[in-house]
Amino acid sequence: MNSSLDTQLDHIFSALSDHTRRRLVHALAEGEKSIGQLAEPFEISLVAVSKHLRVLERAGIISRRIDGRTHFCRLHPESLTQALDWIAIYRSFWDQRLSKMKHLMEKETEPDA
């Protein structure tokens, strides 16, 4: 893996490591929203929500556009592709391991002929 990709993955996984940021990403999956709309369900300040959004922005997961005094955020799901590709490698690894384990267990529990 190249160092640029490693750095990008570090930013993505770090950004998604916080449950508030994951909830923000989930909310943005429904479509573009203002920071006020995003902050509404949280019991934290608008400033705190803005800080979380900046982390997501730096990771390339979201973008922001400004219309007058209102800031709107939009999800960029394609930015998560590299993270999903990385996870897929290990999903395949575990699928193979679990399949082998299942096969061995089934063999072990077969009645003797």
User: What is the extent of the structural domain holding 68?
Assistant: 3-108
Query: Does 14 fall in a domain?
Result: yes
Query: Does 65 fall in a domain?
Result: yes
Query: Does 61 fall in a domain?
Result: yes
pLDDT at residue 47, as a whole number? 93
Please say if the pLDDT value at position 77 is more than 80. Answer: yes
Query: Does 94 fall in a domain?
Result: yes
- The alpha helices in the chain, defined as continuous H runs, are 3-15, 19-28, 35-39, 46-58, 81-108
Confidence of residue 112 (pLDDT cuts 50, 70, 90): low
CATH number at residue 21: 1.10.10.10
Please say if the pLDDT value at position 2 is more than 80. Answer: no
Query: Does 62 fall in a domain?
Result: yes
Query: Does 113 fall in a domain?
Result: no
Count of domains for the chain = 1
Least confident of 48-57, 75-84, 97-106: 97-106
Query: Does 30 fall in a domain?
Result: yes
**What's the rounded Cα separation, in Å, for the pair 95 and 40?**
40
